[in-house]
Amino acid sequence: MQIAVGIAERCCVSFWAVCCTLFEIFRHDLGCVRLDFGQPFSLKEYAKNKKFCLQHGGRPVEELLLPAVLGKRSEIVDCEKTPWWIQNCVSNLDAPDEDRCLVGSLSQHILTTAVSCCAIMPTALLSCLLLYRHKQGVFLPRLMKDFSWLLEEVLFRNFDVGFSGRLQDIVLHTLSLLRDCVMLCCASPNDLFVFPKNSREAMIDLALYSRPVLSVFICEAVGACAVNSVLMEMKDCAMNPEFDFDVVISEEELNRKIFQLFHLLPYDILLLTPCHISYCFCWDAVDKLVQVGILTMEEFDHARHACDTKRTRISEELLWKPTDDFMDSDSDYDDDLHKRLFKLSSSSSSPDYYYFLCSLLRPVLKAYAEAATFLLDFNGPVKELAYIEDLYQYLLRKTSETAFYECATRTLATSAVQTFKELGVFQECASSVFQLSSTFDSIENRRKLHHFIQQFII
């Protein structure tokens, strides 16, 4: 009996301790905790499946992208890029090639799964809107309207959000959390004007808060930047405030630009699983731009076209076939007859959405473009860590002039150097010491690299 009473007393004490802890949490308004239970994962089954291994079909980024950087007409190559950790980090492991490929691909898979399981918080949505849509400020009613729109877009893409409640309460509470990054001004008794602080610390914090939103829209953002590149090549209309909706974009050229940007961006930005092939990403990017209303497809007058039921590979032309032709054979297929053409949508919301998607990748691409400019005064050989630090200080100086503070981070400086190494800009002459390769020893080729990156920036 005494044992039973003792156990009961200890249970009551434990229960009371839990209640006190919960009471303290709610009393001090410490927020909430979200637990994510991912789907079961079998490493044994994953190891047996050899399709994840990109080493058998992968090619270096230098081989895939360098011709386009140097201004040569490059064909769409149906091949994956070899991840840099398989080439460098994982290659140092004393293990068979398949095991090293397994380690690299498993790391990529875990990173993608971890990001996809994270809920999007209101600070991410609000920071994204203030940084990429309302950098000059916005009234609270309009901010609430855009917050609701962005929330619906996130939920529509099957991402979780970590909040609930009334819209006004959520936005006001989020503004209180971002009080170090934003300024509030009472324009009238019933109106509140919100704008981000024009300081490096505030912009970098907003960029860090908004980073999860990029993973939601990464496919559309790459497609929008590719559209911008095509438009700049055609008539430089992407830099003008008014759109030229009569510009016709061919699917082949748009696919080429998407592939180029896809190979340029690192895996931690794209956040794709090893089994996600590049031509599927390209297909989805074009498809989603049509779905969200940025692009409209131009039909040929002499034939009615419908989406092909079989996804052919990019190298075999992702084109459409007539509705009465469902044969897999392409023996009687006319390439010129069935190419898709696109135009920018003339709807009122299309330009804003287009600029928003392009802006999501602007910090990364802007940092890469400034890093290419920094290359013009390269004096080597130089240690890698020292060069990253010099590049970071250069980004700080440049962004203070242009007010793009969100581009000046050590992470982006490191990412730019790593991307340039993959691209063949640098060659290693000693341990952690590199110099310019023979290709980019020419000032002209370094300028071409800057122009190549700049074409994707709006």
More confident residue, 96 or 12: 96
pLDDT of amino acid 369: 95
Query: Residue 449: which pLDDT band, with cuts at 50, 70 and 90?
Result: very high
Query: Residue 128: which pLDDT band, with cuts at 50, 70 and 90?
Result: very high
Lowest mean pLDDT among 97-106, 114-123, 194-203, 378-387: 97-106
The H or E element that residue 367 is part of is helix 362-374
pLDDT of amino acid 47: 66
| pLDDT tens-digit readout, 166-181 | 999 999 999 999 999 9
| pLDDT tens-digit readout, 227-264 | 999 988 876 544 454 555 567 888 888 999 999 999 99
Distances (CA, A) of 209 to 122, 183, 329, 376: 9, 17, 50, 33
Give percent of the chain with pLDDT exceeding 90: 40
| pLDDT tens-digit readout, 49-71 | 655 454 445 677 888 889 999 98
Query: Residue 18: which pLDDT band, with cuts at 50, 70 and 90?
Result: very low
- Over its C-alpha atoms, the chain yields an Rg (Å, rounded) of 25
In the DSSP assignment, the letter for residue 300 is: P
pLDDT of amino acid 323: 41
More confident residue, 313 or 373: 373
Contact 409, 416 (CB under 8 A): no
Tokens coding 276: 């996600």
Report d(CA 123, CA 209) in Å as an integer: 6
Distances (CA, A) of 374 to 393, 403, 428, 447: 11, 18, 19, 10
| pTM for this predicted structure | 0.79
Query: Residue 16: which pLDDT band, with cuts at 50, 70 and 90?
Result: low
Lowest mean pLDDT among 153-157, 282-286, 346-350, 419-423: 346-350
More confident residue, 276 or 248: 248
pLDDT of amino acid 214: 93
pLDDT of amino acid 307: 36
Tell whether the model's pLDDT for residue 79 goes beyond 70.
no
pLDDT of amino acid 93: 53
More confident residue, 240 or 432: 432
Write out 380-413 in H/E/C secondary structure.
CCEEHHHHHHHHHHHHHHHHHHHCCHHHCCHHHH
Task: Go through the domains of the chain in sequence order and give each one's CATH number.
Answer: 122-197 (3.30.420), 214-324+336-354 (no CATH), 361-454 (1.10.10)
| pLDDT tens-digit readout, 181-226 | 999 988 775 788 999 998 889 999 999 999 999 999 999 999 999 9
Query: Residue 339: which pLDDT band, with cuts at 50, 70 and 90?
Result: confident
Residue type for position 123: T
Query: Residue 439: which pLDDT band, with cuts at 50, 70 and 90?
Result: very high
Tell whether the model's pLDDT for residue 337 goes beyond 90.
no
pLDDT of amino acid 39: 55
Q: Give me the phi and psi of 324, to 5 degrees please.
A: -90, 10
Tell whether the model's pLDDT for residue 377 goes beyond 60.
yes
Tell whether the model's pLDDT for residue 150 goes beyond 60.
yes
Q: Is 180 helix (H, G, I), strand (E, B) or coil?
A: coil
* Residue found under tokens 């860090």: 208
